[in-house]
Amino acid sequence: MFRSFLLSVLTGLLLMAMGGTAIAHPTIGLDPTLPADVTFAATDNIDYLGRFPEHAGTAGGTRLGDVYYVTDPRGIYTYDVSGDKAAAPELLGSLVRFQTTTGVALAQEDPDTDGNILLVDSSANPFTGAALTVVDVSDPSDLSVLATVPVTDHTWECATGRLDTGQIAGCAYAFGRTGHIIDLTDPAEPEQLSFGWRDIVGFTGYTHDLTEIRPGLVMSAGSTAILMDTSALLDGDATGIREITRIDESVHGHTFRSLGYHSVEWATHADGRLDDILVAGTEIAPNGDLAGTDCDGSESVIETYDASAVAGAIAEWEAGTITFEEMTARATFAPVDSFDAAGRGLYVDGNAPAHVLYCAHWMEFSPSFDGGGMLATSYYDRGTRFVPINADGTFGDESAWIVPLQGYSGSVQWVTEDVLFIHDYTRGMEVIRLGGEATGTYESATATQILTSSFVPASSFHADGVGPAAILLLGFGLLVIETRRRKTARR
């Protein structure tokens, strides 16, 4: 009787413990991964500092100043990452806002904020459709919903413009990947415009994301990447948006079989100077569009482009020495090099035995990137990779990686020059430190780390992640004891 009762209890605990497991994309189920499982392989220049398993199911995170913003299927969270806290972030505030339907896995990617408002698709409850939610984050310890707009999109990007008060704000407009433009010049009373940015540039193909390179310049990523002049927003004129140039798949030899460019990175420096290197990363389905097949070929890559001609033409136009038409005629990106992570293989070698999801995902430059530097990128099954980019735009040899067992790295964000947060769909938000050169040996998590994977002092949320695993281990021990007791009794 006791054994049956114990088995029932353990079954219930097992289901509770696995309740935090999320799927990385709709319709693709993943094997259960315990929230406290931190088993991984990595180059020895990576230190594993800990993780927040409650933030599973998201690729959404960004840093602005001393605050790190996280969006996951349950809500929005802010962490203090000032000083030494970057390596052990402390929760500042949270707001319950649910992701629904496909948004449970998708809508929370790449949240954008100017420090006053944050944009995310969400719902007040888990049963109704999501809407663009304008969240007041001006006080990171006291988050609140400022307004909602009855429209939804996979990714939203803040664009700089002038508020109704006359103040310049980094999130005066919101650009959605499918073309939406939301006027946020009065953020408490947002208004969807009757036209979209895709209408202005005459584009009907696939777009995944937009990035404000700097105030006045916004670039899309998709089957074609389009660079737009958005400086007219400073005068409140969204109709004044103009195309500068584009990276067209047919011009550069691609015939993307799925999705295309997932995002672009183009560094802007403190003096406003545009870097000479642009990077475009793909999110391509494995060969045959089947999960589990290999990711290889010319489309499953991260590519560098020589952006010097575009940067130079824009600088001359802004200085007033050439016309807009002359600038656009000279603004051309030139392909330089490509990178792809290793193929199938063993986790301890930095590979994966199969590719369940897509071949690459979000990427980001290191804070010191200037005419070259380090690029961090998430590769789903193949974990998080670090590859240097040389001054001429070519890729160097991969310098570091961390590949967890049954992990699905969705995005990686630089918090400092050496501390990074990894958003893994099944493992939650992980914190690592990148050191110098790898010696070729590897480090893996120990049993002690499995039981102490949350930070101390931990927030109340961390008990949700570590508690079930600890209970399961305790329960398993009790089951073993009971089994041995019954065997002894029968002798």
pLDDT digits (tens, 9 = 90+) for 415-474: 999 999 999 998 889 999 999 888 877 766 554 444 443 333 223 322 233 333 333 333
CA 49/CA 317 separation, integer angstroms? 47
Q: How confident is the model at residue 30 (pLDDT cuts 50, 70, 90)?
A: very low
The β-bridge partners of 266 are 278
In whole angstroms, what is the distance from residue 475 CA to residue 5 CA?
12
If one counts every other C-beta atom within 10 angstroms of the C-beta of residue 241, the result is: 23
- How high is the pLDDT of residue 343? 72
Beta strands in 230-368 (DSSP E): 242-248, 261-268, 274-282, 302-306, 334-339, 363-365
- 244 dihedral zone (left: phi>0; alpha: psi -120 to 50; beta): alpha
The dihedral built from the CA positions of residue 188, 217, 211 and 103, taken in this order, carries a sign that is positive
Beta strand ranges found along 230-380 (DSSP E): 242-248, 261-268, 274-282, 302-306, 334-339, 363-365, 373-378
pLDDT in tens, 184-218: 999 999 999 999 999 999 999 999 999 999 999 99
Answer with the residue of higher pLDDT: 253 or 116: 116
State the average pLDDT over residues 245-266. Answer: 80
Q: Give the pLDDT of residue 467.
A: 38
Q: Which residue has the higher pLDDT, 153 or 440?
A: 153
Res 402: pLDDT: 93
pLDDT band at 105 (very low <50, low <70, confident <90, very high): low
Give dist(CA 447, CA 451) in Å, integer.
7
Does residue 249 have a pLDDT over 60?
yes
The partner residues of 117 in beta bridges, in order of sequence, read 136
Angstrom distance (rounded) from CA 33 to CA 11: 16
Using alpha carbons, select from 178, 179, 176, 181 the residue that is nearest to residue 191: 181
**pLDDT above 60 for 151:** yes
Highest averaged pLDDT of the listed ranges 214-223, 339-348, 462-471: 214-223
DSSP per-residue codes, 22-44 = --SBTTB------TT---EEEET
Token pair, residue 176, equals: 């959605």
- The pLDDT assigned to 252 comes to 63
Is the pLDDT score of 137 beyond 50?
A: yes
pLDDT of 256: 72
Poorest-confidence range of 212-221, 275-284, 349-358? 349-358
Q: What is the pLDDT of residues 375-416, one digit of tens each?
A: 999 998 889 999 999 999 999 999 999 998 778 899 999 999
Measured CA to CA, the distance from residue 146 to residue 140 in angstroms comes to 14
Q: Which residues contact 387 (CB under 8 A, 6 or more apart)?
A: 302, 339, 374, 375, 377, 395, 396, 397, 398, 399
SS3 480: helix
Average pLDDT over residues 167-178: 97
Q: Higher pLDDT residue, 307 or 254?
A: 307
Predicted TM-score of the model (pTM):
0.84
Quote the distance between the C-alpha of residue 413 and its chain's center: 7
Specify the 3-state DSSP secondary structure of 75: strand
pLDDT at 134 over 90: yes
Instruction: Kindly compute the dihedral angle of the four CA atoms of residues 426, 432, 435, 438, in this order, to the nearest 10 degrees.
Output: -20
SS3 483: helix
Give the residue among 367, 360, 365 at the shortest CA–CA distance from 375: 365
The yes-or-no verdict on residue 35 having pLDDT over 70 is no
pLDDT at residue 26 above 50?
no
Largest Cα–Cα separation, the chain: 97
Name which of 153-167, 239-253, 384-398 the model is least confident about.
239-253
Q: Long-range contacts made by residues 114-118, C-beta under 8 angstroms, separation at least 24?
A: 114/64, 114/158, 114/169, 114/170, 114/171, 115/64, 115/65, 115/67, 115/170, 116/169, 116/170, 116/171, 116/187, 117/146, 117/171, 117/184, 117/187, 118/69, 118/76
Mean pLDDT of the chain: 82
Provide the token pair at 236: 């409140």
Residue 487: both structure tokens together = 């065997």
Please give the pLDDT value at position 358. Answer: 80
Q: What is the distance between the alpha carbons of residues 40 and 347, in angstroms, rounded to a whole number?
A: 8
